[in-house]
Amino acid sequence: MMTVNKDLLDILACPQCKGDLHLNENETGLVCEACRLLYEIRDGIPIMLIDEATPLESR
């Protein structure tokens, strides 16, 4: 599994709300808590397309 570069993570923002993102627990995606979306990471590349984001389950 390839991880995303820390410097890249520092500058990425949610494409929908422009809010902060953080890695999920198993480091397979980036989470926007404000939009409740998960952006998948494939081969070390974050897929930052709103249409391909996965909605997170409600708490």
Asked if the model's pLDDT at residue 2 lies above 80, the reply is: no
Q: How confident is the model at residue 8 (pLDDT cuts 50, 70, 90)?
A: confident
Taking alpha carbons only, the member of 1, 58, 2 closest to residue 33 is: 58
Mean pLDDT of 31-50: 95
When pLDDT is cut at 50, 70 and 90, the band that residue 57 belongs to is confident
DSSP letter (8 states) at residue 47:
-
Report if residue 47 sits inside a domain.
yes
CB atoms within 10 A of CB 53: 22
Residue 51 lies in a domain: yes
Half-sphere exposure of 6 (CA within 13 A, CB side): 0
Closest CA to 58 of 39, 40, 37, 42: 37
Residue 28 lies in a domain: yes
The CATH number of whichever domain residue 28 belongs to comes to 2.20.25.10
Higher pLDDT, 5 or 37: 37
Domain range holding 20?
6-55
- pLDDT attached to residue 51: 97
Asked if residue 1 belongs to a domain, the reply is no
Q: Where are the alpha helices (DSSP H) in 1-59?
A: 6-11
